Structure 1
Amino acid sequence: MLNPVHLRTLVEVVKTGSFAEAARRLGYTSSAVSQQISAFERAVGVELFEREAHSIRPASAALLIADRGGELLAAFDGFEHEVKAMVQGLRGRLRIGTFPTASSRVVPKALAKLAADLPDAEIRLDEAEPEDVLPLVLTGELDLALVYAYDLVPQSWPEELTVLPLLDEALLVMVPSEHPAAKNNVRLEDLKDERWIASRDGTSGATCLTRLCAASGFAPRIAFRSNDYEVVQSLVAAGVGVALVPALGYKALPGTHAMPLRHKPLRRHVHVVHRTANTNPLLRDAVNALQEVCQNAVGGYINQP
C-alpha cells in the first residue's frame, strides 16, 4: 500500500529536483527523504530516480506519479480541511425532524439563521408527529427533533435522550365568530352540546381533548378529524364545529374567534431532543438557533418555559 507521506515527499523531490531542498521544505533531514524515496520505490517496484554523485534525475514513472499524486494530495488536503471544519461545527450534515405546526412557525427562522451562520452545512428536514420521529432520533437517522407534550397527556422520554425545553403554547378554543361563546371567556361546559373537530384518533391532541371534556363531565361529540390545523380552522370558519387548537397552529381566520379556556388554562410544551451520545458538532448551533427563535416568539399565546 502506498504511503501518502512518502507520496508527498516524492512530489516535493520532483518539484525541487533535490533531496536536500525537499528535506528543507518538508522539515526532514536529507537522510530521511532518501529513506522515504527508497521505501516508495520498493512499494511500486521500480526505481524512480537516477542517482548521481551530486544530483538526481526523476524517471518517467516518477514524473507520472508526481503529476497524479499532486492531484490526490490536493484532494486529500481539501478533505482534511472539511473534516476539521466539520469538527469545529463549520461544515457537516444535520438531520432535523419536526412536527407540522413547528415547521411553519419555528423551524424556518431557525434554518435561516443556521444557513447564514453555517453556509457550507448540509441540513435535511423531515416532518412527522413525535411518535414517528423519536425512533429515528434513537437509531441515529435524525440528529435532533422537535416534539411536544400536552398537559393532560404526560410524556416520558427515553433515557438515551437529552430533552431541552423550547416554548410553551396555550391551547385555544376556536368557535365561529357568530357563536355566543365568542363574546365571553368560554367555559368548556358551555360547549358540551357542540360538534367538535379534533386531530386523528389516538394522537396526543385528541387524547387531551377527550380527557379535558371528561373532567368537565361530558364526552366530546367529534364530527370531523384532521391533523392539518388549517383544515381544522377552515371547518370552524365554515360553522360546522368548534375545536381545541395549540397556539403554534393558530392563524386568525375571518369567521373565527379563538380564546383560552376560562379557569382551565392548558398548554402544549415544545421540546428539542437529541441522543446524549450524539457528537455532531452542529447540534449545539441548531439548538441555539431554535432557542433564539423561540425566545423571540415570546408573547401572545406563545411563551418560553
Structure 2
Amino acid sequence: MLNPVHLRTLVEVVRTGSFAEAARRLGYTSSAVSQQISAFERAVGVTLFEREAHSIRPASAALLIADRGGELLAALDGFEHEIRAMVQGLRGRLRLGTFPTASARVVPHAVARLSADLPDAEIRLDEAEPDDVLPLVLAGDIDIALVYSYDLVPVTWPDELTVLPLLDETLLVLVPAGHPAAKVSVRLEDLRGERWIASRDGTSGATCLVRLCAAHGFAPRIAFRSNDYDVVQSLVSAGVGVALVPALGYKRSQAVHAMPLRQKPLRRHVLAVHRTANTNPLLRDALMALRSACLRTEDEFTHPVHRQQAP
C-alpha cells in the first residue's frame, strides 16, 4: 500500500531536485525526507534516485511516479476539501420530504435560500403525505421532512425523531361567493344541510371534518373527494359544495369565500421531523431556511410558530 505522505514527498523532491529543499518546503528535516524516499523505494521495489555526494538524480521511474502522483495528490486534495466543506455544511446532499401544499407555499423559498447560501450543496425533493414519508425518514432515505397534524387528529411521533413545530394554519371553510353563509366567520351548524367536498377517506383532513361535524351534532354529506386542494377549490367555485381546508391549501379567488369557524378556530400544524441521530451537517441550514420560508407565508391565517415564541 503506497503512503500518500511519501508520495507527496517524492513529488516535491522531483520538483526541487534536492532532499534539503524538499524538506524545507514540506517542513521536514533532510533526514526525514531521505527516510521517506527509502520507504517509498521499498514499497515499489525499485531505486528512484541516484544518490551522489552533493546531488541526486531522479530515475525514469521517479519521473513517471511524480507525474502521475501529482495528479493523484491534486485529486486527493480536492476530495479532502469536499469532506471539510461537507462537515462544515458548505457542501453535501440534503434529501427533503414534503407534502403538496407545503411544496407550493413553503419549500420553494427554503430551497432558494439554501441554493444561495450553499451553491455546491445538492438538494433533492420527495413529495408524499406524512404517513408515506415518515418511514423514509426513519430508514434514512430522507434527511428531513415536512409533515402535519390536525387539532382533532393528534399524532404520536416515533421516539427516534426530533420534531420541530414550524407553522400553524387556520382551517378555513370555503363556500361559493354569494353564498348566504359568506361572512367574516361561520357557525358549522349553519352548513348542516350542505354537500361537502373532502379529501380522500381515511386522511387526516377527512377525519378532522367528520369529527368536527360530529361534535356539532351531524354527519357531513360528502359528495366529492379529492386530495388536490386546487380541485377542491374549483368544485367550490362551481357551486357544487363547501369544504374545510387548511390555509396553505387556499388560493384567494373572487369566486370563493374563505372564512374561519366562528367557534374557536381549528388549526393544522406544520412540523419538520428528522432522525435525532442524523449527523448531516446541512440539517441546521435546512431548518433555518424552512423557518425563514414560513415567515414569508405569514398572514391572518398562517402563523409561524417561532415568531409566536420569540421574546
Q: Which moved more, 1:95-104 or 1:186-195?
A: 186-195
Residue of structure 1 equivalent to 2:90: 90
Identity fraction in percent: 82
* Offset of residue 195 of structure 1: 1.1
Q: Which moved more, 1:95-104 or 1:45-54?
A: 45-54
Correspondences of 1:106-117 after superposition (within 5 Å): 106-117=106-117
Superimposed CA distance per residue, residues 87-143 of structure 1 (whole angstroms, 9 cap, x where no aligned partner)? 111111111000000011111011111111111111111111011111111111111
Find out whether 1:234 has 2:234 as its counterpart: yes
- Contact kept, 8 Å, 2:183 with 2:259, in 1: the verdict is no
For the residues of structure 2 that align with 1:17 and 1:240, how far apart are their CA atoms? 87
What secondary structure does 1:264 align onto? coil
For the residues of structure 2 that align with 1:122 and 1:304, how far apart are their CA atoms? 27
Correspondences of 1:118-197 after superposition (within 5 Å): 118-183=118-183, 185-197=185-197
Residue of structure 2 equivalent to 1:258: 258
For the residues of structure 1 that align with 2:189 and 2:46, how far apart are their CA atoms? 92
Q: Which amino acid aligns with 1:99?
A: F
Residues 183 and 27 of structure 1, relative CA distance in 2, 3 Å threshold: closer
For the residues of structure 2 that align with 1:74 and 1:43, how far apart are their CA atoms? 21
- Contact kept, 8 Å, 1:233 with 1:253, in 2: the verdict is no
Q: Which amino acid aligns with 2:113?
A: K
- Contact kept, 8 Å, 1:175 with 1:236, in 2: the verdict is yes
For the residues of structure 1 that align with 2:200 and 2:125, how far apart are their CA atoms? 23
* Offset of residue 182 of structure 1: 1.1
* RMSD, aligned CA: 1.0
Structure 1: segments with no counterpart, 5+ residues: none
Residue of structure 2 equivalent to 1:61: 61
Correspondences of 1:23-102 after superposition (within 5 Å): 23-102=23-102
Correspondences of 1:200-215 after superposition (within 5 Å): 200-215=200-215
For the residues of structure 1 that align with 2:5 and 2:34, how far apart are their CA atoms? 13
Aligned residue pair count: 305
- Contact kept, 8 Å, 2:198 with 2:225, in 1: the verdict is yes
For the residues of structure 1 that align with 2:24 and 2:258, how far apart are their CA atoms? 77
- Contact kept, 8 Å, 1:169 with 1:303, in 2: the verdict is yes
Q: Which moved more, 1:181-190 or 1:265-274?
A: 181-190
For the residues of structure 1 that align with 2:149 and 2:210, how far apart are their CA atoms? 15
Superimposed CA distance per residue, residues 12-54 of structure 1 (whole angstroms, 9 cap, x where no aligned partner)? 0100111111111111111111111111111111111111111
Runs of 4+ in 1 over 4 A off after TM superposition: none
TM-score (normalizing by structure 2) = 0.96
Q: Which amino acid aligns with 1:35?
A: Q
Residues 73 and 184 of structure 1, relative CA distance in 2, 3 Å threshold: closer
For the residues of structure 2 that align with 1:159 and 1:168, how far apart are their CA atoms? 23
What secondary structure does 2:284 align onto? helix
For the residues of structure 2 that align with 1:239 and 1:253, how far apart are their CA atoms? 14
